[in-house]
Structure 1
């Protein structure tokens, strides 16, 4: 092998222990449609959804992360998607305000969980804000999505309440209605992300290219199986089992893909990240 054929060594990636909040899908079903993935006419296997959620929960524990749980509530089938109900940075909690009335009640249950667990700096937004569904912390600044759910005004509110810089991004494909269906943070040291370009406006795409010139670029196939709804601890990346193309790219970058099956949860437009709120501080 010539020197020109030798690939540069990939630096060893170090995982960091995370703390997550999750909600079991005890009342999970698809009884209404608030995104293009939801079809109430298609049956949902609740037992399988619970088994898949449990496997995701156990995967985090096996990776060394701490997982807290909140009690699911009857009548709130989407409460399993914990990421939509809070953004926590340095112990400050910015709650949620949902666009869809069917999910509105979820926000206060999560607010109460934080208060009951010793968080005193909890602020509920005045603008529509679907939390980590549209807010992604990079370690240096907050990427904030808008276009379908979270209002643009929530971005400025997040900056004021959380005290971190915010970069706004516009989503344009209704299938990728939350930022966390089109982009996720791989690590917070560099930082770097993986994203699906076709989900963003032209201007937002230029911003992403400027901020992350070495980003992992996902294919349409990766996006359609919710591969961009992944969860990374800086080394281990939890992905849907179908996201094989994305996994191959990540492996080349020194990450370790960890596959989970989220087929039932995907019927409501959710994946690993949707089920996982990260508590920072």
Structure 2
């Protein structure tokens, strides 16, 4: 399915408004959004100055003005959906600080900070730690093990899914359980393109009121054992196509009804619409040059 096909199904607003697909049929249960609180960092100093993942090529030019426009529109989408967006000031010399999801995991007001594997990003963790302390978070723990926060930690409402294989140390999974006081399920990533869990899997609807969470993921991004675990935990999961994963379609953000995802992920958008969600497409083409999408730019502050 192309973007043109989606335009025929519903509306693809080119003027900055929300872009949604209609729900083709009533779901078994209503999809109810929940107001969220997010932390974002503007890409004031964004550039691809080094290569620490397969998406990054320092020889490819970056349009910082366009990256800022895309970031501002993403923020505006969240606000139009009724969510609160907090902003941390960017720091010179930290071009990837825009990817806020990598610098903290917050569950029930508890914060586990980050410890980056790449030295180029190491300083980001301290800036975010200070932001938490200056903004009322008192239960802030900085990790001893390498952990790239919501890049590899995904909260389902009942379990913390924890990725490893490329960035986050397996020992960080146990550290997260102790720091956050929630059960952790380890998942091994095996495809270098999907080096973080948040580019291979996302949560559409969290657990609650006796319901199990619903997720979407790319099976080939995971080891055989991890695929079995995912199949047992989430038998009704949406299985994404390689095409949608390759445009970082799984680097998406859901509030329980609205699903914010890249404009190119039209097949995935149709799949989530079939389950009663409303896809909201955003352009993140410039930010993707560093391997980032909507989720990478978005840390959730769960109180």
TM-score, length-scaled by structure 2 = 0.90
* Paired position in structure 1 for 2:117: 99
CA contact (8 A) 2:26 2:276 kept: no
RMSD of aligned alpha carbons: 0.9
Instruction: Give the 3 Å change call, closer, same or farther, for CA 241–8 of structure 1 in structure 2.
Output: closer
Pick the aligned partner of 1:178 from 196, 207, 211: 196
Pick the aligned partner of 1:196 from 204, 215, 218: 218
**1:262 to 2:280 alignment:** no
**1:222 to 2:244 alignment:** yes
* Paired position in structure 2 for 1:81: 99
2:68, 2:27 → 1: CA distance? 41
- CA offset at residue 50 of structure 1? 0.3
**1:135 to 2:153 alignment:** yes
CA contact (8 A) 2:27 2:276 kept: no
1:64, 1:96 → 2: CA distance? 28
2:27, 2:184 → 1: CA distance? 34
* Paired position in structure 2 for 1:90: 108
CA contact (8 A) 2:161 2:186 kept: yes
Q: SS where residue 259 of structure 2 aligns? A: strand
1:198, 1:44 → 2: CA distance? 30
Matches within 5 A, 1:8-157: 9-157=27-175
- CA offset at residue 8 of structure 1? 7.7
1:13, 1:124 → 2: CA distance? 36
Residues 189-247 of structure 1, C-alpha deviations (whole Å, 9 max, x = no match): 33110000010000000000000000000000010000000000000000000000000
Q: SS where residue 222 of structure 1 aligns? A: helix
- CA offset at residue 130 of structure 1? 0.2
| Count of matched residue positions in the alignment of Structure 1 and Structure 2 | 275
Structure 1 stretches of 4+ moved >6 Å: none
Q: SS where residue 231 of structure 2 aligns? A: helix
Pick the aligned partner of 2:232 from 205, 210, 217: 210
Residues 6-39 of structure 1, C-alpha deviations (whole Å, 9 max, x = no match): x885432000000000000000000100000000
Structure 1 unaligned residues grouped into runs of 5+? 1-6
* Paired position in structure 1 for 2:20: none
2:245, 2:27 → 1: CA distance? 28
CA contact (8 A) 2:27 2:275 kept: no
Structure 2 unaligned residues grouped into runs of 5+? 1-24
1:113, 1:251 → 2: CA distance? 36
